[in-house]
Amino acid sequence: MNSNDRKINQNLSTEIIEAKTVDEKFLLVDGHKIRYLESGSSDRTLVLIHGLGASAERWEQVMPIFAENFRVVIPDLIGFGYSDKPLADYTIDFFSNFLEKFILSANIQSTHLIGSSLGGQISAEFTASHPNVIDKLILVSPSGVMKQSTPALDAYIMAALYPNEQNAKNAFEMMEGSGESVDQKIVTSFIERMQLPNAKLAFMSTILGLKNAELITKKLPSILTQTMLIWGSDDPVIPIHHADDFVSSIKDCRFVRMDGCGHTPYVQDPSTFSEKVLDFLGVN
């Protein structure tokens, strides 16, 4: 798919977003106010978990597509977006426990789960220990197997610590890996979120938590849920060769390579991404 086709698909997705109802909601998890977006009226649920430093809006290109067939629920992880940012050790166990309590608080009995990057690692850890809650699991370039940083990740950390136009634009262009310009809204919203109270603290605590965590490969064999792994071929944040660790460790894992995409294929090519996911979930 060339860049013009991708932009057309993004425009179409934007038109769908405007036509669908997306509700902004809040609930309490351990006394902390958690914000989430919800759309769709199906009795089947799909929960989406964003990555480091992001928010629920990161999924806005695909949310209306999924809402045609699912009740779509997308939280701002605790410590990120417009959810509360308590003083805490933001470890993977902390996030996994949060996800368990969020699912219960949102009255979700069972669900399909999609996690991207940090959200992918959280989703994998959660699924490994809660096999009866997750129907099917989709991981998008998940973290958890890479111990050394990359230039793109370094640029993203710099943008989080010093959230200005130049740093944020540079980071997101590097993460996309295509050389194309990034939607200004993505840059602006990131800067706004990182200037919120305790946002930098939560971000850096998460980085430290990831560095001190054991490699996720030891837990992956415990995932008995049918899984799909999606990775952008040009991902400069977590390079695609790390996919081998997940494919070889998860018993039932389907691998999808998205050519021409970087770290967030659901942003760069939402049409193809949605098609692959819906097929895996038995919709198409």
Checking if the pLDDT of 184 tops 70, the result is yes
pLDDT of the residue at 177: 77
The pLDDT tens digits for 263-283 are: 999 999 999 999 999 999 998
Q: Give the mean model confidence (pLDDT) for residues 85-102.
A: 97
Domains of the chain with CATH codes:
3-280 (3.40.50.1820)
* CB neighbourhood size of 122 (10 A): 27
Q: What integer pLDDT is reported at residue 218 of this predicted model?
A: 92
* Model confidence pLDDT, tens digit, residues 28-76: 999 999 999 999 999 999 999 999 999 999 999 999 999 999 999 999 9
C-alpha–C-alpha distance, residues 174 and 182, integer Å? 10
Task: Give the pLDDT of residue 176.
Answer: 86
Indicate the DSSP class of residue 77.
P
As beta bridge partners, residue 116 has: 140
| pLDDT-based confidence at residue 180 (cuts at 50, 70, 90) | confident
Q: What pLDDT shows up at residue 147? A: 83
Give the chain's end-to-end CA distance (angstroms, integer).
20
Question: Which of 1-15, 39-53, 223-237 is least confident?
Answer: 1-15
Other Cβ atoms within 10 Å of 173 Cβ, number: 18
Higher pLDDT pick, 230 / 283: 230
- In this prediction, what percent of the chain has a pLDDT beyond 90? 87
250: buried, middle or exposed (CB in 10 Å: 19+, 13-18, 0-12)? buried
Average confidence score pLDDT of the chain = 92
Q: Measured over all CA atoms, what is the biggest interatomic distance in the chain, rounded to whole angstroms?
A: 47
pLDDT at 10 over 90: no
Tokens of 237: 């944040």
CA distance 58 to 47: 13
Give the residue-averaged pLDDT of 131-135. Answer: 91
Decide: residue 147, CB within 10 A, 0-12 exposed, 13-18 middle, 19+ buried: exposed
**Would the pLDDT of 12 be above 70?**
no
pLDDT confidence of 204, banded at 50, 70, 90?
Answer: very high
